[in-house]
Structure 1
Amino acid sequence: MVDTAGIENEFSLASFLEETHKDYEQTQRDLKEIDILIKQSAAEVERLAQRNSQVTSYTRQLQTNFETLPREDIKEAYEALNDVQQRLFTMRGQLEKLQSDQRNLERLAEFQRKIIELTDGTASLPSSGGRRRATGDQPNVIRVIQTEEAVRQGLVRKMHDSVASSISNFILQAEICQRFFDVNPDRARTELNALKSSAGSTFSNVKDFIFDLRPMMLDDLGVIPTLRRYAESFQEKNGLPVPITVTGVERRLESHIEVTVFRNVQELLQNALNHAQATQIQIQIDMASEQVTAVVEDNGTGFNVEDIFNGNQKTIGLSTLRERTEMLGGELGIQSNLGQGTRVEFSIPIAEDTGF
């Protein structure tokens, strides 16, 4: 009897490998193109910076004879200064975006390279037919890719909804200020104050965005201080009480364990807020000698646990949490029922002497 499922898996993995190789090659081409654009933009920024320095110096010289010079000369000088500064600001923004895109492409290329190595290494040749046979690791690889894409989509949405739209508003407000400088100074000051307020708000959003991506204090201070800070920030932004209780001996753990604990708790808090509509969430962390255990409990809508893991609900979050935890030799358990809240507990073994 023909094993149709096995054949489908073989074709699926072969197709997946082929597409991944193509994507990796395209990413490499994109990196070469963006490197050229960065060099061109950097040269233009340097040229505009020099021009800005010259025009600024000339404008300062005019200020010494401000009262005797013709108004048209003064206007021309300031218009030239404004034009070069605006072009310099735009080009610097373009350069920063290109550099950011380059970093993202480099991370994507590294991720694709690892996926290729992983799939090539976990695939074995069949006894006949010359095709590769899919192993049990294929679902894990696919889930990694799905999770990576979900994270990227979330980052894109955040960047578009907050930072990108705010920068667009900055440009608009700056243009309004320019128009009112000569004809209505009071209105110009009002617009500048509004611009300053918007910049402060955006700066705060960017800090939160960076903290969500990778809090620096996780590397500097460890997982417990970072979780306390994250819980405080989460409570301030969403108005939900999030008490955190820590038992055992608070200490540094290996970096990959600290990252996993933080990411797991972070995702569970977001799930409780976005999907369970919880009004109360609590966190418990136990730093025992041989393992770290975390519990996140909420009073939200709850769900059927079996539906999450048998594919009846379209979610990869909790399945990924379980796989991430089990890869480190840990365990994750979920208690939940519709209308009765959710309790998620996971534990990860730790070495007694980690050197941290």
Structure 2
Amino acid sequence: MEIDIKVLDNIIKETVAVIESSKEQIYHIAESALLECQRVEAEINQIKNQVAVVIKQVSQLEVAERKARIRLMEVSKDFHRFAENDIKEAYEQAQLIQLKLVMLREEEKTLRFKRDHLELSLKRMRDTAERAEKLVSQVGMALQFLSNDLSGLSQKLGNLHDMQQLGISIIRAQEEERKRVAREIHDGPAQSMANIVMRAEFCLKLLEINPGLVRGELLSLQQLVRQSLQDVRKIIFDLRPMVLDDLGLVPAIKRYLEDYKTQNNMQVEFVLMGKEQRFDTSLEVAAFRIIQEALTNVKKHAHARHVVIKMELIPKRINVYIKDDGCGFCMETQKPRRDGSGGYGLLGMKERIQLLKGGLTISSAPGKGTEVNFWLPLNDLS
């Protein structure tokens, strides 16, 4: 399954944006709840003041109501002393006070109910505000966690994708290498061996017909065997230079460069800086193959006349610089091919170096040749 890193990045960014928006909304809810708490608290204090005023008025009316009842009782007992208007006035006064008292008590009851209801609402509002504040804090922590982790997720998945592609490329390259070796054996030693068998059979028949000609045929057959042996040795050297195992990296490179100069009629300069020594087998093979591939690219594409290879051996790594005076190429339009049609090429060099946790830079321009710089660590091989 192909992973679209750009789509993944967009999904991650949208996810973080939604969480940030949700955080802002929760923050506004918390702020609104706090403001509502302040409003309700102020209203409760106002109602408490009103209740206090009503209670005071009720107390005053209760005193006035008692006095009015006493006055009504006095007037009612001694109605001969008081006129009818006095009795009526006392009765109306007592009734008016009682009515006001009832109304004030109802108002007090209503205010107390409203106060209790607001206090309950205030408690709920405070709980909401506290939960919202905690949620804002938790979402902030989650957002920070997600931002830190998700921001690197696409890169990690990209690295995994690259490693997957790397494995596929290595398998493809192995198959291409096997095809190349099989083709070289078929076109070279295999054809020669078949020819040798036919020439040997011809020599046997020639012994019966004309023995004098056998010597010439055997000499020709001997030359053919030598050529076949040389082809086999070349294939073996391409697969695994024995000198690389026996003597090490630097002698193997020198041996390869000698053959390279002869075969391609090209000036090749090799400069070694540092003390010659043996390295880990995987590092020696990788360095040799990278240099071999770089020089193969020079032969195939650069049309160069002169190549310089500088190798620097320092305590913790190997630095290699390869420069040719060939035609060069445009870096912006050059893309490695993953279809196997181009062998390893630049992609293979990058993949070998990546496996060994090294570094590679390539600089080129049309008409200005190509520079290849790579380094491999000596203390991080596993």
- Band the TM-score falls in, shorter-chain normalisation: 0.5 to 0.7
Superposition pairs of residues 269-288 of structure 1, within 5 angstroms: 269-288=295-314
2:291 aligned residue: 265
2:357 & 2:306 partners in 1: Cα distance? 30
Is 1:341–2:369 an aligned residue pair? yes
Structure 1 ranges of 4+ moved more than 6 A: none
Which ranges of structure 2 fall in alignment gaps of 5 or more residues?
5-159
1:135-185 alpha-carbon deviations (Å, 9 max, x no partner): 443211221122112211221221122111111211121122122112212
Measured at CA, do residues 4 and 338 of structure 1 come closer, stay the same or move farther in structure 2, by a change above 3 Å? closer
Picking from 220, 229, 246, the partner of 2:272 is 246
Partner of 1:275, secondary structure, is: helix
Measured at CA, do residues 334 and 169 of structure 1 come closer, stay the same or move farther in structure 2, by a change above 3 Å? same
Counting helix residues as a fraction of each chain, which structure ranks higher?
2
> What is the number of equivalent residue pairs in this alignment?
224
CA contact (8 A) 2:307 2:325 kept: yes
1:226 aligned residue: 252
1:147 aligned residue: 173
Q: Percent identity?
A: 33
2:355 aligned residue: 327
1:306 & 1:271 partners in 2: Cα distance? 18
Is 1:305–2:359 an aligned residue pair? no
Amino acid at match of 1:324: R
Partner of 1:173, secondary structure, is: helix
Larger Rg: 2
1:300 offset after TM fit, Å?
A: 2.3
2:77 aligned residue: none
Question: TM-score, length-normalised on structure 2?
Answer: 0.54
CA contact (8 A) 2:337 2:347 kept: no
Partner of 1:161, secondary structure, is: helix
2:372 & 2:245 partners in 1: Cα distance? 25
Measured at CA, do residues 296 and 5 of structure 1 come closer, stay the same or move farther in structure 2, by a change above 3 Å? closer
1:218 offset after TM fit, Å?
A: 1.2
1:282 offset after TM fit, Å?
A: 2.2
1:230 offset after TM fit, Å?
A: 1.0
Measured at CA, do residues 153 and 279 of structure 1 come closer, stay the same or move farther in structure 2, by a change above 3 Å? farther
Question: TM-score, length-normalised on structure 1?
Answer: 0.58
1:214 & 1:307 partners in 2: Cα distance? 34
Which ranges of structure 1 fall in alignment gaps of 5 or more residues?
7-133
1:195 offset after TM fit, Å?
A: 0.2
Partner of 2:259, secondary structure, is: helix
1:4 offset after TM fit, Å?
A: 9.0
1:27-46 alpha-carbon deviations (Å, 9 max, x no partner): xxxxxxxxxxxxxxxxxxxx
